[in-house]
Every structure is written in structure tokens, then in C-alpha cells.
Structure 1
Amino acid sequence: MHYIVVLFIILFSSNAAFAKQIEVVVGWTKPPYVISEQDSGFELELVRAILLEMGHDMAPIYVPFGRTASIMKKGGMDIGLTLNPGHDIDPAILTDAYVYYQNVAVSRTDRNFEINEIQDLLGHSVIAFQTAISVLGEEFKNTLAHQKNYMELAQQDRQVSLLLLGSVDVVVLDRNIFEYVKHQLPVEKQHDTKIHELFPVSAYSAAISDEQLRNQFNEVLALFIKDGRYQSLLDKFGLFNFIEDQPMQPAKKLN
């Protein structure tokens, strides 16, 4: 009996030694992807579950979305979420894509705007999400970066409110975020809106400097996608599975 107790203590101590609290830099609320006031949302729950599978706990640290890359570059944090090579980050530390956004332009139907390509945004007041100029491609950047009636906001609920109030012509943000925020507003503030599909689906990764942690993250993410846990979380938050539409990529080499 004494031997069993000692063995249990040794095993418990060994597991505890490898387990750690992982500090994860997360952009402020982007429901249904990140709901900071509830420590919830698709991205948070997925990454929390992946880390738990790896034997770790997650400690989210909320920052303005545009600051995640710069914070990761300074070091000291374990993981930064919702990043891709369009951000100012070393692509070598990015994981496999774990979430896909479908950025769109949205206008009020009663404005009757004809917006079929990025150039059609010229002459309109446009509010986009933070870092949009960096991640939505060269054409978007060259068209709008120096326009006086273009701006970026971290608070995407405010983007939607400004559009519905008629204070801005067009908002540029993820389709799921727009639909989620719009339907949280009172009925009297609702207006019919038109979606303009100007951008391809965007893949986002996590930035993890520690190679071993990054490789383990990729392995568990692949397992979640294969065994259905990834799809279950998508269903919980009403998100489309864009992974099924992506071309197969060769697995990253694990060193």
C-alpha cells in the first residue's frame, strides 16, 4: 500500500512538473470568435481545449486586436491568437491555420450602393477592423490607405452601430461577426443590409515561439479536426467549416 501511494505521488508530481499555465494574447471581443467578458467564443474554447489536451491551463490576456503581433515580437508571452503572415510577425512561429474568417463589405440596402469590387469603395466612407490594411491584400491597401474617409476601429460592435445609424456608408469585417453583433441590437435599430463579397476567405494561425509547444499544438489541432471536436465547436457558435473548402496542405515537418 505504501508503495502504491509513493508511486502515485511520483506520477502526480511528474505530470505537474510538465503542466504549466500558458499565457495567451487575445484580441478584444470579436463575437462569436472571442467573447472576452465570458472568457468564451470559438477561438478561446478551441485553444483552451487544445491546451487542456496537452496538459496545460490557459490564461487569456486581452489586448486591442492590432497589438497582438507587437506583443509577441517583444517576447514573454506563450501564444498570440488570430495572426497570419500579413501581420508583422515571423511566419516561422505560426501554427497551422486554426480559424478562418470571411471578411466582407456591408452596406445598408436602402443606400442602393453598387459595390462589386474593391475599387467601388472609393468615394464612400468606410470603417474596417483594426489591421485590415495589413491583411486584406495590396489592392485594398492601395485603394483605401490614404483616403480621408477610411478608418479602422477595434470595437466591431461600434462599426455595426455606425453603419445601421447611417453614419458610415460601408463597414468591412467578418461576416459572422457582423451577423452576431447585428442580431444583438434592438429591433428598432435594425435595417436591411447587403453583403458585398470582395475578399477571399482568410486563414489565421496562432503565434507560438516555442517550437515544441507549437508542434504539439499542431498535432492536437489536427486530432480535433479529425475526430469531430473541431466541428462540434463550430456548430456551437454557428460557424461554417471553411477547412473543408481548403486545398490539402502537406503537414509541417516536426523537428
Structure 2
Amino acid sequence: MNQKHHSGGKRSAVDITKKLSFIIAFFILCLLSDKGFSENVVVGFGIDKPPFVIGSSKKGLEIDIFREALAYKGHTLEVVHLPNKRLQKALLTIQGIDAVATVRQVPGDGLYYVDDFVYFDNYAISRKKDNLKINKVSDLVGNSIVAWENAYRDLGATFEELFQPVPPKPYKKYYIEHSSQKGQNEMFWRGRSQIIIVDKAVFEWHRKQLGKKYDTTAEIVYHSIFSGKTYFQAAFKSKELAKDFEEGLKHIKRTSMYDHLYKKYTK
């Protein structure tokens, strides 16, 4: 009698263990279906856009935003640095790169884009002593200007119409797009351009750094002639990775992590 009761107790213990194992397995499957399968994601970033991308150091605001958004779905980030102008081409032609940051969508290129990844607060900036009257985009014409590479595509229809390379016009010889934002800022502080068009945080970062080499104490005027923030996208080869990143980006914006990172790098 006692032996029979003992055998039944063993069976009960086994049944409970099986049920617990099933519950745990079910819970893990639920987690996996929610988070997807984690992956090491190789992402191409530009070079020399501090504080957004700090040299080739694999550090900067863009990189931290990308890392946090991927982490929401369990992915890890591997950073590679590429020339700013060749990011999309690299994604399309180089095997092993999964995504690139801070680009503009090209219709029909077969990539998957996530909107509003990062934004820039762009201004036309001049020295107060020059007393320039810049109240609208067309007021820029006739002044010497330095901007970033392909800026004519990023600052609205009026700016593009005025400063796109073709057709050539006499005033365009005073407009320069520089491949390096450090070089762009150096041109301004060396007096080789009257106006620099750049994100305010980028300008102030270089102003501080270049103060060791140039006099950057001149009083400055920020001409707010561009309509709001300039947003850029992230591009992916994989539709699934793009979806995961988009969900992660929404999450870090909803939880204020996105704003926290901006303040960390730009204040």
C-alpha cells in the first residue's frame, strides 16, 4: 500500500516537471516571437561629422541611436566607416554590409528605408560684423558660402533650384560644398567664406575644437531660413531588419532615450 502511494508520488513529480518544462519552453518561444532572432548588424556610417560621427572612432550620436534602436530587438551593432557620399552605393555593392545611416531615399533602388532616424538643425551662420541681411534662402545669392557635400539636395526646393551644379551660373562660383565638416568650419573661421551652412551643434563643436588653432570668438548670427529640422533616413537590405529597427527607433523616442542622447551630444 505504502509502495503504491510512493510510486504515485513519483509520477506526480514527473508530471509537474513536464508541465513546468512546457510552460518555460512556451514562455521562451513567446519572447523569441516578440523580439525576433538576434543578429549582429553591420552598419555603414560616414566620417568626420562630430558630434554625430566622431572621426573614425566608432563613436557619436548617430552610432548610439542606431545601437539603442537595434538593441530593443536583441540585435548588436558593428560599425564600419565609409565616405559620406558613397554610403548607399556601398550598401548596394559590398557584401556584408546590412545597413547605412543618414541617407536620402532613392526611389526604386530595392532598399528598405526607415524615416526620421536623425535630424539636423541647419542654419546659415555669419559674423555679426559683416552685417549680412539674410532673411530668406534667396538672400544667400551673391555671398561666399560653404556647406557640406550634397547640401543642395537637403535644404529644400528653393535652395536646390538656386545652388544645384547644373545649370552653371556666375554666383555659384562663390558656393562651395566641402567633403569634410572640419574643413568646412575651417574655411569659415579662416575668413574664406562669409556664410557657413551647417547644423548648430556641429558648428559649436568645431568652434570649440578649432579655437585652439584660430580665433573663434567673433560674435555670430544664426539666420533661421530653413523650414524646421532636416531629417535623414536609415537604409537596409533586409525588410525584417528594417522593421526591427523601426520598432526600436519608435521605442527609444517614446521612452525619451532619443532626446536624452541628443542632449548628451549637443548641449
Same fold per superposition (TM over 0.5): yes
Mapping of residues 188-199 of structure 1, within 5 Å = 189-190=215-216, 191-199=218-226
Q: Which residue of structure 1 lines up, in the alignment, with residue 207 of structure 2? A: 182
Hey, what's the Cα distance between the residues in 2 that align with 1:162 and 1:209?
A: 37
Q: Which residue of structure 2 lines up, in the alignment, with residue 121 of structure 1? A: 140
Which among 167, 172, 181 is matched to residue 156 of structure 1?
181
Hey, what's the Cα distance between the residues in 2 that align with 1:106 and 1:150?
A: 14
Q: Which residue of structure 1 lines up, in the alignment, with residue 264 of structure 2? A: 236
Q: TM-score, normalised by structure 1?
A: 0.79
Structure 2 gaps, min length 5: 1-23
SS in 1 for 2:123: strand
Q: Which residue of structure 2 lines up, in the alignment, with residue 225 of structure 1? A: 253
Mapping of residues 1-255 of structure 1, within 5 Å = 18-74=37-93, 76=95, 77-85=97-105, 90=109, 93-145=112-164, 146=168, 147-186=172-211, 189-190=215-216, 191-200=218-227, 201-238=229-266
SS in 1 for 2:204: helix
Q: Which residue of structure 2 lines up, in the alignment, with residue 247 of structure 1? A: none
Structure 1 gaps, min length 5: 1-6, 240-255
Q: CA deviation at 1:90?
A: 4.4
Hey, what's the Cα distance between the residues in 2 that align with 1:53 and 1:66?
A: 29
In our comparison, the structure showing a higher alpha carbon Rg is 2
Segments of 4+ in structure 1 off by > 4 A?
87-92
The answer (yes or no) to whether the contact 2:117–2:234 under 8 Å persists in 1 is yes
SS in 2 for 1:97: strand
Coordinate RMSD, CA, aligned: 2.6
Deviations 1:224-254 (A, max 9, x none): 1112222221221136xxxxxxxxxxxxxxx
Q: TM-score, normalised by structure 2?
A: 0.76
Hey, what's the Cα distance between the residues in 2 that align with 1:63 and 1:141?
A: 25
